[in-house]
Amino acid sequence: MGHALRLFAALTLPEALVDRLISVQRILDDRWPARSVRWVRREQLHLTLRFYGNVPPEQAPALTEALRAACAETRPLSLALAGLGAFPNPRRPRVLWAGVTGDLESLERLEQRIQSATAAFGDHRETRPFQPHLTLGRIADDRERQTASPANARWDRIENDLFGSWTAAAVHLIRSELNPAGARYTTLTVAPFLRG
């Protein structure tokens, strides 16, 4: 038995859309006090559907099969990233995000099938309801949270922008390896959607 694998299931983005999100991060970075926001790196820009936490390596093949079965009846999803928001709210943001639009009902059904089919795997249990979003950055300092509202960060120019669209045709099972330089991601398997 080897070390546990830190795994999650996600939809990946086309490079052109990732480039656009990086440019949005740069615009926003100019509007906050220096170094007050930790921006998500480009390799971390994906739409997480399920975070498993630690999974024993010997369970990875069964998880792969369960994930593929959960995705097999899903048709490709037409999705887009549009608008900005913040958790828990814009007045005291901790997480800055881009919103997800498009085939949201199909996306939520897919997420529910994945949750149900793969519930037995991993040591992480999500207690919050699924809210489709893509994290752009995190504000760590409470003092920055008090002053970093959309109004004084001048989000108005881009808060309703359409950043780009894409067709999702598969879910990726991704391994996250933590190290001091930041997490490294490796796709272990791809669970394709129904074609045609």
**Residues involved in catalysis:** 46, 133
Q: How far apart are CA 36 and CA 146, in angstroms?
A: 12
Q: How far apart are CA 72 and CA 195, in angstroms?
A: 9
- Residue 16: Cβ within 10 Å count: 9
Q: How far apart are CA 15 and CA 22, in angstroms?
A: 10
Question: Of the candidates 74, 81, 69, 72, which has an alpha carbon nearest to the alpha carbon of residue 110?
Answer: 74
Tokens of 32: 């906050």
Residues sharing a CB contact under 8 Å with residue 133, sequence separation 6 or more, in sequence order: 85, 97, 98, 99, 100
